[in-house]
């Protein structure tokens, strides 16, 4: 299973060149096997970035999310278990969305595909793939 960080999902969905060839191939393979998704919090994060004008999507954020769900991108829920796991990540930076996304990947045994250098450098046992590669 591959869990995407917010910017990685945006790169994949919008066809941005920042997404590396290896990452795109892994994401396509995972999608073909219904093993590609993201934490519900990344849709909130994307909506906030869009509202603040930090990103531009090709369609309204609600329709963008629905299109991804219809294409079989899984949405892993933000549960109490995820919240508890996010709160107990050792030596992890304080960004709540990153904590929820990382905890989701850990709980579901997924590979987190991200380009966030802080997550990539984290000393925890998280399986991860640099989305720029």
Query: For residues 124 and 91, is the Cβ–Cβ distance under 8 A?
Result: yes
Q: What is the pLDDT of residue 63?
A: 96
The predicted-structure confidence for 41-90, as pLDDT tens digits, reads as follows 999 999 999 999 999 888 999 999 999 999 999 999 999 999 999 999 99
Mean pLDDT of the chain: 96
Query: Can you give the pLDDT at residue 116?
Result: 97
CATH of domain 2-130: 3.40.50.1010
> Residue 29 pLDDT more than 90?
yes
The residue extents of the domains of the chain are 2-130
């Amino acid at each position: 299973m591959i869990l995407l960080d917010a910017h990685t999902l945006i790169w994949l969905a919008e066809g941005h060149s920042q997404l590396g060839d290896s990452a795109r191939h892994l994401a396509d393979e995972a999608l073909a096997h219904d093993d590609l998704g993201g934490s519900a919090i990344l849709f909130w994060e994307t909506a906030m970035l869009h509202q603040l004008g930090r990103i531009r999507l090709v369609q309204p954020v609600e329709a963008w999310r629905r299109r991804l769900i219809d294409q079989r991108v899984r949405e892993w829920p933000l549960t109490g278990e995820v919240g508890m796991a996010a709160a107990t990540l050792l030596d992890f930076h304080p960004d709540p969305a990153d904590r929820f996304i990382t905890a989701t990947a850990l709980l579901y045994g997924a590979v987190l595909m991200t380009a966030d250098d802080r997550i990539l450098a984290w000393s925890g046992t998280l399986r991860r793939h640099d989305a720029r590669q």
